[in-house]
Amino acid sequence: MVVGRVVGVDACPGGWVGILLDRDRPTGRFAPTLAELVGPAADDLRVIAIDIPIGLPDTSIRQADLLVRDALGPRRSSLFMTPVRAAVVAGTYDETNEINRRPAGQGVSRQSFGLLSRILEADEFVVSRPRGVIEVHPELSFATMSGAPLAHSKRTWSGAELRRELLRANGIVLDEVGPEVGPAGVDDVLDAAAAAWTARRRDQGTARAHPHPAQVFSDGISCAIWA
């Protein structure tokens, strides 16, 4: 099957890192914004897979977050519950925490709060390009590749090596990816590559959505995590 050009994207220090697959050949890129990262190839991209929440809940926890967190086993802490939309657009951490507790029944972690600007950026991006954009979680992608959640964190030597080998076994060889990924760390590049793997599967029609059918909130955006 001939697969179109797809890209996997992950947030990283200073912006976003992407791994573009064109006939399975991976190319790295970095940009300070999503629009700039995708811009040069936007018209030719069949799928854009982003490791960031897409589709913000109104008054509850997303089904996608609950399903994927349960599926990740030892890696479940890598998934942060997505705040409700009103909390995402709040100002301070205390305001965000308080707003989220009322409808969702729980606060917001500091890690989640640190991602809110990226969530809003992705939200605006999806509204401007509603077709072909999907949400992924790299640990779910890697678990799908291996047949089970990975035992070691991506920030350990053995964890990083295993993820790189899983990608290689699935035709994504990162040996030639270099300075073009900018300030992105090794874990960021691996996550973007895993997202690209899922983007390729989505283009082939073999990826699975969690949940299926997708949940839809008042923003009208379909909410599912693909792998």
- pLDDT on residue 129: 83
Contact 227, 202 (CB under 8 A): no
Give burial (CB, 10 Å; 0-12/13-18/19+) of 27.
middle
- pLDDT on residue 41: 65
Report the alpha-carbon distance of residue 30 to residue 41 in Å, rounded.
13
What sign results for the dihedral spanned by CA atoms 200, 203, 205, 211? positive
Q: Which of helix, strand or coil describes residue 103?
A: helix
Per-residue tokens: 84: 């409700």
Which amino acid is present at 220? G
- pLDDT on residue 3: 62
Query: What is the chain's Cα-based Rg?
Result: 17
Q: Which tens digit of pLDDT belongs to each residue from 191-213?
A: 999 999 999 999 999 999 999 99
Give burial (CB, 10 Å; 0-12/13-18/19+) of 91.
exposed
Per-residue tokens: 146: 């291996």
Q: Which portions of the chain are predicted below pLDDT 50?
A: 1-2
- pLDDT on residue 2: 47
CA distances from 64 to 15, 61, 140, 225 (A): 25, 9, 12, 6
Specify which residues 79 forms β-bridges with. none
- pLDDT on residue 72: 96
- pLDDT on residue 1: 44
What the chain holds in terms of domains, given with CATH numbers, is 5-54+134-209 (3.30.420)
